[in-house]
Amino acid sequence: MFTGSYVALVTPMDSSGNIDYSALRSLVDFHIENGTHGIVAVGTTGESATLPFDEHIEVVKRVVEFSQGKIPVIAGSGANSTAEAIFLSEQLADSGIDGFLSVVPYYNKPQQRGLVAHFNAVADATDLPVLLYNVPGRTVTDMLPETVAELAVHPKIVGLKDATGDISRLKTMQKLLPKDFVLLSGDDQSSCEFLCAGGHGVISVTANLVPKQMSQICEAALAGNFELAKQIDNKIASLHTALFIEPNPVLPKWALYRMGLMKSAFLRLPLVESELKSQQHIEQVMRSSGVLF
């Protein structure tokens, strides 16, 4: 369950800032056609922080509708308020999703025992599996491996998206966690190394642009063909870096617009359109990586 390449899907918007559901359908089709193993809808890359609840829920439901059961869908449902995270989980419980991705609460800097209480409460509120999401670069609070191990006892908490980029932490968690606990990379730059060290997959921003290559990397690594995985990753490594020279999802949205997969690169405030020099840089990288010709 939840192994391989899961795309952290952007939420396309038109030039007025409305959700572009036609483009959303095209993106879902793009991932199905190119072998993506699963979709994360309305996570960080999907601008969860600036989508009100009604839009958040509707986007997830549309992704499920458009996927037609051909690809698993995980819904972002995290919040810095436990009550809000539970509310989102309850609202999405019957939407047809396969599970939830729940981020470490941000801004209020909970203690480790606060994280345990938060995630247990979220998991208690659903019958669906829950993936934890640790991204201290955005949330400030770092969920420690020992905390993950304590949470792994809950029957609904089945895995972790780790965006620390620290491979030594993966090895620590492998010693502490059950073997069936899913460990996913949330850091594209180190994801191939993570997979080769025994990780089970990746929730990827880069996969928005190159879904086939990210899926192939995962398939090769999970089959034990680490050399092939590294060869494919080397060809797109510059994308992993270039996509993050401005805050995610600023450049992924511009790149998808440039690829013709979206009609607009609109972002919800306080994010704004990328700088011209960033656009020029990512376009050059896209050309060198074979994304644009």
- DSSP collapsed to 3 states, the chain: CCCEEEEECCCCECCCCCECHHHHHHHHHHHHHCCCCEEEECCCCCCHHHCCHHHHHHHHHHHHHHHCCCCCEEEECCCCCHHHHHHHHHHHCCCCCCEEEEECCCCCCCCHHHHHHHHHHHHHCCCCCEEEEECHHHHCCCCCHHHHHHHCCCCCEEEEEECCCCHHHHHHHHHHCCCCCEEEECCHHHHHHHHHCCCCEEEECHHHCCHHHHHHHHHHHHCCCHHHHHHHHHHHHHHHHHCCCCCCCHHHHHHHHHCCCCCCCCCCCCCCCCCHHHHHHHHHHHHHCCCCC
The whole-number pLDDT of residue 237 equals 98
Q: And the tokens for 210?
A: 């190159």
Domain 4-223: assigned CATH number? 3.20.20.70
* 6 counts as catalytic: no
The length of the chain in residues reads: 293
The pLDDT of residue 276 is above 90: yes
The whole-number pLDDT of residue 239 equals 98
Q: How many CB atoms lie within 10 A of CB 73?
A: 24
Integer Cα distance of 110 and 144 in angstroms: 12
Q: Which residue is catalytic, options 6, 61, 106, 161? A: 161
pLDDT digits (tens, 9 = 90+) for 17-44: 999 999 999 999 999 999 999 999 999 9
The whole-number pLDDT of residue 1 equals 79
CA distances 90 to 57, 97, 197, Å, are 11, 12, 36
Integer Cα distance of 211 and 80 in angstroms: 30
Question: Predicted confidence band at 69 (pLDDT cuts at 50, 70, 90)?
Answer: very high
* 133 counts as catalytic: yes
Whether the model clears a pTM of 0.95, i.e. scores above it, the answer is yes
Q: Is 45 annotated as a binding residue?
A: yes
pLDDT digits (tens, 9 = 90+) for 211-257: 999 999 999 999 999 999 999 999 999 999 999 999 999 999 999 99
The whole-number pLDDT of residue 252 equals 98
Q: Which residue is catalytic, options 6, 133, 253, 257? A: 133
CA distances 265 to 55, 70, 134, 261, Å, are 18, 27, 27, 10
Which residues are registered as beta bridge partners of 184?
161, 201
Integer Cα distance of 226 and 248 in angstroms: 28
The whole-number pLDDT of residue 293 equals 81
The pLDDT of residue 291 is above 90: yes
pLDDT digits (tens, 9 = 90+) for 113-150: 999 999 999 999 999 999 999 999 999 999 999 999 99
CA distances 276 to 47, 243, 254, 273, 292, Å, are 22, 14, 11, 9, 18
Q: Is 74 annotated as a binding residue?
A: no
